[in-house]
Amino acid sequence: MTTPTDTTTPHLQDLVQTVHKNLKHLADWSSLVIHSSPSFPRPLITGLPPDPVYIDPDSASTYNAEDKNSPERSQHEWVLPVDLREKWTLRKWAQMFDSLPEGYWGESGGKVRGKRILLAVVSDDSTVVHYVVHDGIVKPRQN
Amino acid sequence: MASQWGVVEPFPIYLVKSRYFLYDANVVSHVRASHRMCGCLTGTLPQIPQQNVFLGLPLELMTEEAALLVEKGAGYIVNDIQAHSQGLKSMLEADKAAYLEAREAESIREMQALQKAAEERRKAFRTPKPASLKDNDGEEEETGEEGKIRDGEEDKVGATVFETDTAKTKLSNAVDPAPPSTLRYYPVPATSEALYHALPTSPGLLEARVLEPAPSETSYPLYKHLHEHNYFLSPGLRFGCQFMAYPGDPLRFHSHFVVTGLGWDEEIEMRDVVGGGRLGTGVKKAWMVGGENKDKPGEVRTFCVEWGGF
């Protein structure tokens, strides 16, 4: 299921390239890096979004969007490219999160935050939609 | 150990056709305050059964709630129908006779009151005899033969406005006392538990475990996991999910998550993940999916999905 050969299939390479281009040119992300380590079930992308993808609702009132040095601003995000036609299971999600490096994942609202990834779903018309997936019970942000 | 509401655990949870009910308001309060379970009020007004805005007792519990209460030893399941018919059967003859006697006495009292009220109404109608009516009487006497014929008719009919002395006596006889069976009111105690229900001595039934609720394997571990993290859960069909998860009492908080339980290897379409994310974000919540790790029994993994925002 998570053999290293998976990461080299042309299908996955295409998927990663599509999402990478989308993030770089459309969503204006910076510091984009593609990780195709065999420890991951498939190639992943990390990068820095122009705006934080998640702000803890408890710190939403103190968060200052102008402050370029706030901890929320410097959070690099992991991006998981998937095809719309794929089917996932809880087991695959869990393996995905467990393969991500352990340790310090940054802070959110003064609290050390857990793991999260950005799910980039690619449709066959090359539309890409992004969904934040948190590992564990995480309060929804304030919209 | 009785709680603040005088509830002693384990308390009975009534099972009717695979649905679980609580009939006692004190138990409902206790379950909400001590066990973080709200259930659903299902009772409506017999006269206006369509209205569903103000519902009351009984409280229906989700299967998961009933299962967790039994698992905690806080409640035990009673098969309501069986307990009811058993209770009726085991009612003592003397009790039954006393109850029927009381019912009979009450209906006779009711009947007499009804009769008395009718009598009084009639009296009130007759006593202030207006002058015009007296004139009528005089005319009748004068007409002689015709008047007598009319009297005869009145005898048969029983009552008309023009009453003679003979008709008056006939009239009071004509109102038969209503037979007790037609009376609509019988005194029935407000709670039937003590009267009709044969409640098993609690620990015995807990050991039997015959009636233990069997909730879905995909949703129960997730339900329990969230419950242990101090969430209140309510049924989520109205919101397009399995459970709604509130961070505290639903009267004080908005819910945080729309929750769907999955099996560990149950496949989910990407389109459903996107749809779930949209569903949650659209109502300022997160869509949560989760289930029990089959490789590590007891461990529950949950994932919260929100729209990325761009």
pLDDT confidence band for A3 (50 / 70 / 90): very low
Closest chain A residue to the Cα of B285, Cα to Cα: A140
Token digits of residue B183: 């009376």
**Location of structure tokens 């560990």:** B264
Q: Is the pLDDT score of A2 beyond 50?
A: no
CATH value at residue A104: 3.40.1350
* Cβ-based contacts of A86 with chain B (< 8 Å): 270
How many CA atoms within 13 Å lie on the side-chain side of B283?
16
* Cβ-based contacts of B277 with chain A (< 8 Å): 131
Shortest CA distance to B253 belongs to which of B291, B225, B284? B284
Per-residue model confidence as pLDDT tens digits over A121-138: 999 898 999 999 999 898
CB contact under 8 A, B229 and A137: yes
For residue B131, the model assigns a pLDDT of 58
User: Among A58-72, B52-66, B194-208, which stretch is predicted with the lowest mean pLDDT?
Assistant: B194-208
Q: Is the pLDDT score of B101 beyond 70?
A: yes
CATH number for the region B216-310 comes to 3.40.1350.10
Residue ranges making up the domain that contains A69: 10-134
Per-residue model confidence as pLDDT tens digits over B61-100: 999 999 999 998 888 888 888 887 777 777 777 778 888 8
Q: Residue B27 carries which side chain, given as an amino acid letter?
A: V
How many CA atoms within 13 Å lie on the side-chain side of B271?
3
DSSP letter string over A105-136?
A: --EETTEE---EEEEEEE-TT--EEEEEEEES
Residue-averaged pLDDT of chain B = 78
Three-point CA angle B84, B86, B87, nearest 5°: 65
pLDDT confidence band for B134 (50 / 70 / 90): low
A100 backbone dihedrals φ, ψ, rounded to 5°: -75, 150
Number of neighbours of residue B244 by Cβ within 10 angstroms: 22
Considering only residues B129 and B171, tell me which one the structure prediction assigns the higher pLDDT. B129
Per-residue model confidence as pLDDT tens digits over A45-67: 999 988 888 888 877 777 777 77
Expressed in percent and rounded to 5, the helix, strand and coil fractions of chain B are 45, 20, 35
Number of domains within chain A: 1
CB contact under 8 A, A90 and B291: yes
Mutation target among A85, A127, A131 for the B interface, most CBs of B within 10 A: A131
pLDDT confidence band for A18 (50 / 70 / 90): very high
For residue B54, the model assigns a pLDDT of 84
For residue B149, the model assigns a pLDDT of 46
Say if residue B58 is preceded by a cis peptide, omega within 30 of 0: yes
State if pTM tops 0.90: no
Q: Where are the beta strands (DSSP E) in chain B?
A: 11-16, 19-22, 40-43, 56-61, 75-79, 232-235, 243-246, 257-261, 268-269, 286-292, 300-307
Enumerate the CATH 3.40.1350.10 domain ranges in chain B, comma separated: 216-310
Considering only residues B194 and A34, tell me which one the structure prediction assigns the higher pLDDT. A34
CB contact under 8 A, B284 and A82: no
Pairing between β-strand A128-135 and β-strand B300-307 as defined by DSSP bridges = antiparallel
CA distance A53 to chain B (A): 6
Enumerate the CATH 3.40.1170.20 domain ranges in chain B, comma separated: 1-90
Number of neighbours of residue B82 by Cβ within 10 angstroms: 13
Burial class (CB in 10 A: 0-12, 13-18, 19+), A13: middle
Second CATH level (architecture) for the domain B1-90: 3-Layer(aba) Sandwich (3.40)
Per-residue model confidence as pLDDT tens digits over B218-239: 899 999 999 999 999 999 898 8
